[in-house]
Amino acid sequence: MPKEEGQASWETIAAHKQAERLSRIPKEWLLHSLPADPTTNVLDVPRKSGILDEKELYITDNFDATLLAHAIAVGKLRSVDVVRAFCKTNCLTEIFFDAAIQRAEYLDSHLKITGKPLGPLHGVPISLKDTFNITGYDSSIGIASLAFNPATENALLAQVLLDAGAVLYCKTNIPQTLMSLDSENNLFGRTLNPANRLATAGGSSGGEGALIAMRGSVLGVGTDVGGSVRIPAMCNGLYGIKPSAQRVPYVGQEGGALLGASMIGLPASAGPIAGSLRDCEMLMRVVGEARPWERDPSVVPGRWDLLDDLGFQGEEPERRTVIGIVRTDGLATPLPPITKVLEEVVRALRKTSTVDVVEMDITPLFKQCQSLTNAFFGIDGNNHILSLLEKTGEPLVTWLAPRLKRKKGKSTDEVRELHARKMELETQFLKVWRDSEGRRIDAFVCPVAPHPVPPIDRWNGVGYTSSFVLLDYPAGVRR
């Protein structure tokens, strides 16, 4: 792929970018040697490396974000010790450890002087996917032509977290173009699954998933337009939430697309990835309390705590929760390990006294989703993202090379037709939320994928996640 005249090559930019990243890590925090090639599980590297002391290991091993926030607020832990501990384990793109430690010191001083935390996330370190703009740092999303162009303003969600007292200390790796369900790019390389380096860490928020699995982060934020929060959560044994679009502020991100493209395509959502479900809820609650709709016109007003008391007129107060079971999308039949896990979930739910379980066959509608979703992804014919790569002569990574081609962008009428089909499908899906007795179904459970965590670059069956982006349903993965 020839580069633009006068533009540095992608190889030169990548070398400089990796050198910059290395310069931001204290030498004493670097591994003396990498794990031997036959070693597939590297989850114990932080403990065996000698880089973290016993107090730091105690912090990283025994707290979720909710418990850390409490421990810091009551003075049991200092933010600076917590932040330094989590800085020592990383698989990152952008590093701002020095600024993070300075902020933690300020927050510790603030608490000591005032006796009050700055906010509900006071002193808690939070990692972000590389797409989020942070003032003074790149949002290159692994593309050479976007490197060395630092953001001049924080993404709104990043600012909301800072206002709540959080400490932002790093950004994490993603796949080139954000269009694959692994996490490899030419700028930073590939993120591996720490539980099994032969398996995928998922994508496109794969850096977040791997970092949290390694206990290098206690709470992270990814984005999802096809499964990019939920798939890394599954691959790394975590919780991940994809809210509906317009629930969490998205403004101030680099996605490799022209501004406004999401208004004619499928909008992505930002959501938490964490080791505990309550941490996901804590982040969603903090976002709602910040009233982001006053600063981002695309966010729908609504605080998280209002959802606690949602009622449905005419329903008995002791109504049982109704959970549907969806066993297949009608295109890719789940393999036996997946059907086994789903059946275990069904048995557990049926033993719960307050839950009724109903089978749902929605395959006539479900199997229409994937092809329509794919059509939305190709609205501009991939031309803008490929032009970004061509500026520096950057090649596509191995998985993308045979799959991502320039095409003619869709016409206005073709885009209108896609939205018409989407509206019709959304309308038809409203009918699945009543069972045969007319009862409202509160939620349904289905596989994340038709297969277990696969080898690198072998994820398949994206319809189980992308369909809920098309329908704009909230969706989550639990460990």
228 is catalytic: yes
Of residues 79, 180, 217, 228, which has the active-site annotation? 228
466 is catalytic: no
Q: Closest Cα partner for 224 from 245, 252, 238?
A: 245
Residues 6 or more apart from 90 whose CB is under 8 A from it?
25, 170, 211, 216
Residues 6 or more apart from 116 whose CB is under 8 A from it?
none
Point out which residues pair with 358 in neighbouring strands. Answer: 324
Cα 178 to its chain centre, rounded Å, is: 12
Single-letter residue type at 263: M
CA distance 276 to 278: 5
CA distance 14 to 9: 9
Please say whether the beta carbons of 212 and 170 come within 8 A.
Answer: no
**How many alpha carbons fall within 13 Å on the CB side of residue 5?**
0
Of residues 127, 204, 276, 467, which has the active-site annotation? 204
Of residues 17, 88, 129, 422, which has the active-site annotation? 129
Cα 181 to its chain centre, rounded Å, is: 12
129 is catalytic: yes
Q: Closest Cα partner for 224 from 240, 207, 200?
A: 240
Angle between helix axes 277-289 and 65-73 (nearest 10 degrees) is 60
Q: Quick one: 59 exposed, middle or buried, by C-beta within 10 A (0-12, 13-18, 19+)?
A: buried
The DSSP string of 155-196 is: -HHHHHHHHTT-EEEEEE---GGG-SSS-EETTTEE-B-TT-
Q: Closest Cα partner for 145 from 453, 386, 401, 357?
A: 386
Annotated catalytic residues are: 129, 204, 228
